[in-house]
Chain A
């Protein structure tokens, strides 16, 4: 992999073939690879500096535009919302609704790890400059008080302690420190402002979370200090491909989530008829579990290291998330014994809390790849024949 990455112009296809089988967990490789395979970074190294700079400048412009400026306008124009002619305040309050929705979800991101409640290493406060402090989002929405040392339980039942954040006592202290979840909140807010068609939909936090997690923990400081801006572009790229899953009006379209779930069930029927039949007989609909699995690229079904490893493969998939369907089918076939003997209640519980029963993520990926290869082999037969016939026809013609 190092060899591929050291080339002046990186062969993306070759890289994807390697990264499909996983990026190394230590070092900077994964963060770099994700930028590349998500097309947030050009393959030609000579263009890196220019691209990165313009992306990062753009991002800080968005932050200024959507967060700092509205705040300054609000402060300078008038302190009385009623005397103002309208738009600024109207927009400002609408934004605050959006913000409180995002805040709720960003705050409860991955409660089973401490990362998101830890202070961010390089928050935008540092790179945008001092004036950003007036525009820190936390100033805008009323603080919900979170009592100290709450014990929390994640979906799979692990007990953990969340970091203490006292409501009022150390407000000053708190305002200077920005936590990782607050960076995620700002990223999602900027995305929502820029993408008025989608805005913010619950679940987007679960997509951006692991990306920021990977990029911000890059040991190479030159990269990690720009994790926020770079995450924004990687996330935007991922969203451009899975956006339809999040849009209600797309639900019934051929690229919408219902079609995706139906295709996955068809795939299951083909590869494991018994499991399909059990689900079908028990009237366990795809939307009971596949909706969440697929919209979130399985990020709520696994622990974060496993999600990240799975995403190496999903992001490397040349047919863009086609592999996701096979991963879902693989999971179902790997827990088939349980599903076949379970009743409706047992199976629903199982399908909604898979993290306890799932085998190692590598086994899932191997199984999914095996299923896909099987289909590819089946399909390639007639395909090759067709091609050779056409070639034959062509050569006959030219003669």
Chain B
């Protein structure tokens, strides 16, 4: 009964152009490195030391402005434990940027970055933007991974690197902005390349209407 009545209801889609681009970002890394805290600091600009553990996947939206463009960031926050790998790797493919997080006070989380990189290689789209994020840099007395070690690993894998602290807020905004800027640059250069082709696909590419950024899917 209810199905007949419901089938005519149109699906609502945000009609206004509230943003120019929609980018999907993903946070990965071992359990307890502070992924949820980083996202919370970025989205709410505050720190919560007692976050409950993320089960499966969490989600936040934050709009930022870069070079006059309003960019809606859809950030997916994943559970770190091995058990959730099958659930979380499903999100890799749609991601345009991936932030790999480790904890400077835990050697194991740093060593595991190599495994996380393998996961990206296996499951993410080719050429996805990556940023190695060292969290908890405020805890100097407990630090076991130096900034140089982090830098070296990043260089070795040809990715960008940043140290930050969700607790003090240091560099957190910077990390997400840097990621957004890189995705934007890549996106725009592809867009203009396609525009140079002079064909029809241009309009669709920058259409912000699609909530999932589906139209961007092909290019990223």
Residue contact B49 to A340, C-beta cutoff 8 Å: no
B56 at the interface (CB under 8 A from A): yes
Residue contact B56 to A292, C-beta cutoff 8 Å: yes
Q: How far is the CA of A206 from the CA of B53 in the complex (A)?
A: 9
- Out of A162, A270, A345, name the residue touching B61 (CB < 8 Å): A345
A202-B83, A291-B87 known; A282+B56 contact, CB < 8 A: no
Which residue of chain A lies nearest to B72 when distances are taken between CB atoms in the complex? A345
Q: How far is the CA of A251 from the CA of B13 in the complex (A)?
A: 33
List of A residues within 8 angstroms of B12 by Cβ: 278, 340-343
B50 at the interface (CB under 8 A from A): yes
Residue contact B74 to A152, C-beta cutoff 8 Å: no
Residue contact B50 to A343, C-beta cutoff 8 Å: no
Residue contact A202 to B2, C-beta cutoff 8 Å: no
Binds B, one of A38-46, A103-111, A121-129: A103-111
List of B residues within 8 angstroms of A206 by Cβ: 52, 55
Binds A, one of B3-11, B112-120, B127-135: B3-11
Instruction: Tell me how far the C-beta of B128 lies from the nearest C-beta in chain A, rounded to whole angstroms.
Output: 19
Q: How far is the CA of A349 from the CA of B60 in the complex (A)?
A: 7
Q: How far is the CA of A288 from the CA of B55 in the complex (A)?
A: 10
Residue contact A153 to B83, C-beta cutoff 8 Å: no
- Out of B6, B46, B57, B60, name the residue touching A273 (CB < 8 Å): B6
B81 at the interface (CB under 8 A from A): yes
Q: How far is the CA of A68 from the CA of B188 in the complex (A)?
A: 62
List of A residues within 8 angstroms of B38 by Cβ: none
B121 at the interface (CB under 8 A from A): no
Q: What string of 1s and 0s marks CB contacts (under 8 Å) between A143-182 and chain B?
A: 0001100101111000000100000000000000000000
Which residue of chain A lies nearest to B79 when distances are taken between CB atoms in the complex? A202
List of A residues within 8 angstroms of B212 by Cβ: 282-283, 344
A313 at the interface (CB under 8 A from B): no
Which residue of chain A lies nearest to B61 when distances are taken between CB atoms in the complex? A345
Instruction: Tell me how far the C-beta of A247 lies from the nearest C-beta in chain B, rounded to whole angstroms.
Output: 8
Residue contact A248 to B82, C-beta cutoff 8 Å: yes
Which residue of chain A lies nearest to B88 when distances are taken between CB atoms in the complex? A287
List of B residues within 8 angstroms of A162 by Cβ: 49-50
A272 at the interface (CB under 8 A from B): yes
List of B residues within 8 angstroms of A203 by Cβ: 53, 55
Q: How far is the CA of A281 from the CA of B48 in the complex (A)?
A: 35
Residue contact B2 to A271, C-beta cutoff 8 Å: yes
CB proximity to B under 8 Å, residues A64-113: 101, 104-105, 107-111
List of A residues within 8 angstroms of B53 by Cβ: 104-105, 108, 202-203, 205
List of A residues within 8 angstroms of B4 by Cβ: 273
A352 at the interface (CB under 8 A from B): yes
Residue contact A282 to B11, C-beta cutoff 8 Å: yes
Residue contact B11 to A246, C-beta cutoff 8 Å: no
Residue contact A292 to B5, C-beta cutoff 8 Å: no
A296 at the interface (CB under 8 A from B): yes
- Out of A282, A283, A287, name the residue touching B57 (CB < 8 Å): A287
Residue contact B50 to A108, C-beta cutoff 8 Å: yes
Residue contact A246 to B83, C-beta cutoff 8 Å: yes
List of A residues within 8 angstroms of B79 by Cβ: 202
Residue contact B52 to A291, C-beta cutoff 8 Å: no
A146-B49, A349-B59 known; A278+B83 contact, CB < 8 A: no
Residue contact B48 to A291, C-beta cutoff 8 Å: no
Which residue of chain A lies nearest to B90 when distances are taken between CB atoms in the complex? A287
List of B residues within 8 angstroms of A341 by Cβ: 12
Residue contact B31 to A291, C-beta cutoff 8 Å: no
Residue contact B3 to A273, C-beta cutoff 8 Å: yes
Residue contact B56 to A273, C-beta cutoff 8 Å: no
Instruction: Tell me how far the C-beta of A167 lies from the nearest C-beta in chain B, rounded to whole angstroms.
Output: 11
Which residue of chain B lies nearest to A145 when distances are taken between CB atoms in the complex? B142
A104-B32, A108-B51 known; A248+B211 contact, CB < 8 A: no
Residue contact B87 to A348, C-beta cutoff 8 Å: no
A152-B49, A349-B61 known; A251+B2 contact, CB < 8 A: no
15 inter-chain pairs at a CB distance below 8 angstroms, sorted by A residue, are A101-B81, A104-B53, A152-B49, A202-B79, A272-B6, A273-B4, A277-B6, A277-B9, A278-B11, A287-B57, A288-B57, A292-B55, A340-B9, A340-B12, A345-B61
B-side residues, CB < 8 A to A, are 2-7, 9, 11-14, 31-32, 46, 48-53, 55-61, 72, 74, 79, 81-87, 90, 211-212
6 shortest A-B CB distances, which residue pairs?
Answer: A274-B6, A344-B211, A273-B3, A291-B56, A111-B50, A273-B6
